[in-house]
Amino acid sequence: MLSLSTRHVEELMDERGLNVDYSTINWWGIKYRPKLEEKFHRRKRQVWVSWRMDETYIKVKGEWVYF
């Protein structure tokens, strides 16, 4: 996973024509992070929704075989 620092984000925004200081980006993170986390957690799938299957069959050359 690639982690970007606020200075990297500042450089990326500068390349796109937006002149923003890294401290402003840090302030945005502090201000908007709780709101973003709340929205992400609302959309996150519940653990009980997922399920696992111990035995499975797959199709090989048109025939179902035990995997």
For residues 22 and 6, the answer to whether their CB atoms sit within 8 Å is: yes
Indicate whether this model's pTM tops 0.85.
no
pLDDT digits (tens, 9 = 90+) for 11-64: 999 999 999 998 998 999 899 999 989 988 888 777 676 666 667 778 889 888
Residue 17 is assigned to a structural domain of this protein = yes
Of 5, 48, 1, the residue nearest 25 (C-alpha):
5
If one counts the domains in the chain, the total is 1
Residue 41 is assigned to a structural domain of this protein = yes
Overall size of the chain counted in residues: 67
Residue 18 is assigned to a structural domain of this protein = yes
Q: Which helix (H) or strand (E) covers residue 66, if one does?
A: strand 63-66
Residue 45 is assigned to a structural domain of this protein = yes
- Rg of the chain on CA atoms, in Å: 22
Residue 1 is assigned to a structural domain of this protein = no
Helices (H) then strands (E): counts for the chain: 2, 2
